[in-house]
């Protein structure tokens, strides 16, 4: 890709959405010198104004199309529910802006494919917020696997059991997750983050072998919320290299044990754990070779802590690492192969749609 104009100065960003965005993306832009936050858009002018004032953006809009048309905006960050992503990303692409979209990319694969087509037709990059790739612990896990710490990979097992929607205080701000029509579900939200990590670390699944089930086991959430989205999912398959893998998720697990990924090879094992979603919680890595007497802790190398402006074990650190690399790519024109794109998002949703047909 060609470098953007203005090399050496911050990337001017406009953010659509100030719910989840106000807790994650907006603080990151305010902290990182690689960015200048110039505009915020929400469905209500008052909420847009409040977010802009809070995070120092000079302009605010109640219509995402106005933000996309703003000549000061170079990058549009879409931080809304999946079912709203397509028109917002398409408007940004038509305006010639680079696009970053929260994951999952869309509510279904066909929508994701149209989004891919939109950014390609406009000749702009489309990035995806799969920030778990930039967790230092997972960065180290990938390096260990690549350097042969476990030998030939034979089995990969991942689980994400969260108590999120057993708690009324968590249901209220994320009520959209109860509605399958928004593109929500344990598979499509948490499960796809983990499937992306498996793809990124171990290689692509063999589509012909992938099987899975989803279920809405608890349709009544705290606060009398009725859920149509699936709250649990289990996926199995074979990777292109021959290893077997499984992913099991639930976001209604009482006293859920958090996130775990284990990899077993013919020369050893690695285990990564986090108290919650790997995009926000620090990942601890342990492992052992086949001759070791016990499993030991493996600390990430110093190059995994390459963003000074954000506290390294904070919830925003993986996102900050993703954003810094995104800014570097936009300014230099040099493609970063670890940055997730709309291609990754469409690929993941094709897998999800095979397991769980999209709502509607």
**Predicted pLDDT of residue 1:** 58
| Among the listed residues 325, 330, 344, 322, the one whose alpha carbon sits nearest the alpha carbon of residue 5 | 330
- CATH number belonging to domain 11-130+319-332: 3.40.50.720
The C-alpha angle with vertex 1 and arms to 98 and 136, in degrees rounded to 5, equals 75
pLDDT of 2 above 60? no
d(CA 153, CA 156): 8
**Predicted pLDDT of residue 6:** 62
Residue 258's alpha-carbon distances to 24, 187, 220, 337, 344, in angstroms, are 20, 15, 22, 29, 25
Q: What is the mean pLDDT of the chain?
A: 96
Stretch 154-169: mean pLDDT, rounded? Answer: 95
* Residue ranges per structural domain of the chain: 11-130+319-332, 136-300
Radius of gyration of the chain (CA): 20
| Among the listed residues 353, 319, 358, the one whose alpha carbon sits nearest the alpha carbon of residue 127 | 319
pLDDT tens-digit profile of 299-328? 999 999 999 999 999 999 999 999 999 999
Q: Any idea what DSSP says for residue 301?
A: P
pLDDT tens-digit profile of 170-209? 888 888 999 999 999 999 999 999 999 999 999 999 999 9
pLDDT tens-digit profile of 31-83? 999 999 999 999 999 999 999 999 999 999 999 999 999 999 999 999 999 99
Stretch 335-344: mean pLDDT, rounded? Answer: 98
pLDDT tens-digit profile of 237-272? 999 999 999 999 999 999 999 999 999 999 999 999
pLDDT tens-digit profile of 210-230? 999 999 999 999 888 899 999
* CA torsion through residues 133, 138, 143, 145, sign: negative
d(CA 332, CA 319): 20
Q: Specify the DSSP element, H or E, that contains 343.
A: helix 342-355
CB contact burial 153-163 (16+ within 10 A = b; e otherwise): bbebbbbbbbb
Stretch 163-169: mean pLDDT, rounded? Answer: 91
Q: Return all residues near 338 (Cβ < 8 A) that are at least 6 apart.
A: 133, 134, 200, 325
**Predicted pLDDT of residue 138:** 98
- Say what percent of the chain tops pLDDT 90: 93
CATH 3.30.360.10 correct for 136-300: yes
């Amino acid at each position: 890709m060609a470098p953007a104009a203005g090399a050496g100065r911050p990337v001017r960003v406009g953010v659509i959405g100030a719910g989840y965005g106000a807790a994650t993306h907006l603080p990151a832009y305010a902290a990182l010198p690689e960015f200048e936050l110039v505009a915020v858009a929400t469905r209500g002018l008052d909420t847009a104004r409040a977010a802009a004032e809070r995070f120092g953006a000079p302009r605010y809009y109640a219509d995402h199309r106005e933000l996309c048309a703003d000549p000061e905006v170079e990058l549009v960050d879409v931080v809304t529910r999946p079912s709203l992503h397509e028109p917002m990303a398409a408007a940004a692409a038509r305006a010639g802006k680079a696009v970053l979209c929260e994951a999952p990319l869309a509510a279904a694969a066909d929508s994701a494919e149209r989004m891919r087509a939109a950014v390609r037709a406009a000749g702009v990059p489309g990035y995806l917020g799969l920030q778990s790739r930039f967790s230092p612990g997972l960065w180290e896990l990938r390096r260990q696997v690549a350097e042969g710490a476990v030998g030939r990979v034979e089995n990969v097992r991942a689980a994400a059991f969260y108590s999120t929607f057993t708690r009324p205080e968590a249901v209220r701000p994320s009520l959209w997750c109860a509605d399958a029509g928004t593109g929500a579900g344990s598979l499509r939200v948490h499960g796809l983050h983990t499937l992306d990590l498996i793809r990124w670390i171990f290689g692509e699944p063999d589509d012909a072998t992938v099987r899975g089930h989803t279920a809405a086991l608890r349709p009544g959430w705290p606060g009398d919320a009725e859920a149509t989205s699936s709250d649990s999912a289990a996926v199995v398959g074979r990777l292109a290299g021959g290893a077997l893998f499984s992913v099991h998720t639930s976001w209604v697990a009482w006293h859920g044990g958090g996130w775990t990924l284990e990899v077993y090879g013919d020369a050893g094992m690695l285990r990564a754990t986090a108290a919650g979603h790997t995009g926000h919680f620090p990942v601890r890595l342990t492992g052992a070779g086949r001759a070791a007497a016990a499993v030991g802790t493996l600390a990430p190398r110093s190059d995994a802590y390459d963003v000074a402006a954000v506290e390294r074990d904070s919830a925003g650190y993986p996102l900050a690492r993703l954003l810094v690399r995104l800014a570097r790519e936009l300014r230099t024109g040099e493609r970063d192969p670890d940055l997730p794109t709309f291609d990754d998002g469409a690929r993941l949703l094709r897998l999800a749609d095979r397991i769980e047909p999209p709502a509607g």
